[in-house]
Chains A and B, each alone.
Chain A
Amino acid sequence: MSLVELHAIHKSFGAVQVLKGIDLKIDEGQVIALIGRSGSGKSTLLRTINGLETIDDGTIMVAGKKVGDHDTDLLDLRLNVGMVFQQFNLFPHYTALENVMLSPQVVKKQSKAEARAIAEEMLTKVGLADKMTHYPDQLSGGQQQRVAIARALAMKPRVLLCDEVTSALDPELVNEVLAVVRQLAEEGMTLVMVTHEMRFAREVCDTLVFMHHGRIHEKGAPEAVFANPKTPELANFVGGLAG
């Protein structure tokens, strides 16, 4: 059984159908990039996986459990699925360390010492051992995003969703964040990312999913997808990137 199984997902915003029947399986350790033009539904799809968007039809199974509407299901889901956002969304009134410690303490009821140990470990892992007592507004965008990654990791999720995690960063800060994501991929973390960094996606991911008009248009290994697009839409998209 796959770690995440999406079946026939439909989602509309008002009259606009954003997802028109998505089937997708994500295995443990798989690294998937969702690519496609803006408006193709990739971010919405990502957000349905952890229940930030409700779905109109279809089923989502995470770690063998169907995601329903009950609060307890949602908590279960979110303990399994972590997320990192384009805008970081760090809590501005807490230090980097407190940002990472909060959820393990509050949600998982870990002791302060336990939470602190995990938070320090995660912040060290993303290279911010020396910034623990800094507040978000004292950190660069790249550092903030790495804190956000550490914060998600401290909950020990089985899947990490990354929603355009470098899109809000100045170009010179992109690489430090990508390096962390790459390291996670190498360690075997299951990752689903929406990204515009095609070169990175190509190097790091084992599967590319090309979305077009709310459907999965093509899917496959990065080399295959980039080298031999089977549909004109993907050829067009890939060609547009090169040009």
Chain B
Amino acid sequence: MPEFTLWDIVYNLLLAARWTVLLSLVAFVMGGFVALVLLLVRTAGNPWAMRLVRGYVELFQGTPLLMQLFILFFGLPLIGIDVSPWIAAMLGLTLFTSAFLTEIWRGCVESVNKGQWEASATLGMNFTQQMRYIILPQALRIAVAPTVGFSVQVVKGTAVTSIIGFVELTKAGTMITNATYAPFTVYGCVAVLYFVICYPLSLYARRLEGKLHNVSR
């Protein structure tokens, strides 16, 4: 039976951690883009579109991420679309992220004083102009801290994709455990690696919060 050093374990985990980071990034960027579109639809005022977006958000907030992944991974093949674990994981996390970011950002937009909408409207601006020049710049300042904070949830959420066979940090941990029979050491390392990714994000979010709350521009 081959011997595994701690470095063997960490090295292989680090290789897999690249996929965790990549998946987080992709989910966050694409989810953010979808969320921005949904946010504009939600704020533009068409009652049906608003209801649709709210339903979407509640659907993803009200079901476990694991079920969303299962449904994508096992459901799409049923209608003839074969998805790899990578595609399913990416798609699932993107949808999940978009729902939460839509809700977070909606709160930020709504916290901008109503007088800002009225003043810009009386100056002749249309919805797009109001959003671009008046509302979003102010909402953005409010949104930065909770958004960075939520990115931690996305990173941790990627662990769930191990269940559909996507080889990221957690899945790699399971595979290495099966070879080394040292679960405590391996999962300990896995946990440390997650922490190393997430802690700077939390720290950064907290710092931003302090910084942006002190000035109004």
Contacts and interface: CB of A to CB of B under 8 A. Distances in A.
B113 interface: yes
Nearest to A52: B118
A155 B124 contact: yes
A243 to B, nearest CB: 34
Interface string B160-180: 000000000000000000000
A50 B216 contact: no
Contacts, number: 64
Interface of A: 50, 52, 71, 75, 78-79, 81-83, 85, 87, 89-93, 102-103, 106-108, 135, 137, 148, 151-152, 155
B-side interface size class: 20 to 34
Contacts of A103: 120, 123-125
B97 interface: no
A102 B122 contact: no
B94 interface: no
A89 B116 contact: yes
A91 B216 contact: no
Given A89-B113, A91-B134, A93-B137, A78 B119 contact: no
Contact of A71 (B116, B118, B126, B138): B126
A70 to B, nearest CB: 12
Interface of B is mostly: helix
A155 B123 contact: yes
B133 interface: yes
B122 A82 contact: yes
Given A85-B115, A85-B118, A102-B133, A92 B123 contact: no
A79 B126 CA distance: 12
Interface string B87-125: 000000000000000000000000001011011111111
Given A71-B126, A75-B126, 17 more contacts: A50-B122, A52-B118, A52-B121, A78-B121, A89-B113, A89-B115, A89-B119, A90-B119, A93-B216, A102-B123, A103-B123, A103-B124, A107-B123, A107-B124, A107-B125, A108-B124, A135-B217
Interface of B: 113, 115-116, 118-126, 129, 133-134, 137-138, 141, 216-217
A151 to B, nearest CB: 7
A83 B120 CA distance: 10
B138 A78 contact: no
Nearest to B134: A91
